């Protein structure tokens, strides 16, 4: 049954009407019009729907909106500051990492959380971190380069 829930997304509070077990992804896309998080598999396999819940990357197709209500959600739309792309976004652009782009949201959001935790990652750590994010275009090598570049940009900019 739909109930009123307060969730914080990209620094703003929103009152939404939803059953507590509604996947967060549906609320973000359908109620709040945030289309950065993508619907891919709907079963926690592809990573296209990834958002940040606090400092953790989570798959929004599986997180119930009631769980998200206890923390702060950040979506792809919330990464940029005053129109400036986040360094991880810039690195993906500069490396031309994506082909169709469908996996991009998940790759970028997972990378943001990963680099907070591991600012100087090895290639093996990057591969492991992105293991839950699928790219059907096979752009993995360029994505690996983008994550390396993102680590450099973040270190340079102290972001």
- Which residues are near ligand FES by CB under 6 A? 39-42, 44-49, 59, 61, 98-103, 135-137, 139
- Backbone region of residue 54 per phi and psi (left: phi > 0; alpha: psi in -120 to 50; beta: other values): left
Separation CA 158–CA 72 (nearest Å): 23
Least separation in angstroms between CB 107 and ligand FES? 7
Q: Which residue, 102 or 118, is less far from ligand FES as judged by CB?
A: 102
Least separation in angstroms between CB 44 and ligand FES? 5
Question: Which residue is associated with the tokens 């591969």?
Answer: 127
Tokens of 15: 């009152």
Q: Which residue, 100 or 157, is less far from ligand FES as judged by CB?
A: 100
Separation CA 20–CA 139 (nearest Å): 36
Least separation in angstroms between CB 80 and ligand FES? 20
């Amino acid at each position: 049954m739909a109930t009123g829930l307060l969730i914080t997304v990209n620094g703003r509070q929103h009152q939404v009407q939803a059953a507590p077990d509604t996947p967060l992804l549906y609320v973000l896309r359908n109620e709040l019009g945030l289309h950065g998080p993508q619907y891919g598999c709907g079963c926690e396999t592809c990573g296209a729907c990834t958002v940040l819940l606090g400092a953790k990357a989570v798959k929004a197709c599986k997180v119930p909106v009631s769980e998200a209500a206890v923390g702060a959600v950040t979506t792809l739309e919330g990464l940029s500051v005053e129109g400036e792309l986040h360094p991880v976004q810039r690195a993906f652009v500069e490396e031309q990492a994506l082909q169709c782009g469908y996996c991009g949201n998940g790759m970028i959001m997972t990378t943001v959380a990963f680099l907070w935790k591991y600012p100087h990652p090895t290639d093996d750590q990057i591969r492991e971190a992105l293991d839950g994010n699928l790219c059907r275009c096979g752009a993995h090598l360029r994505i690996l380069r983008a994550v390396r570049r993102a680590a450099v940009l973040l270190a340079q900019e102290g972001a």
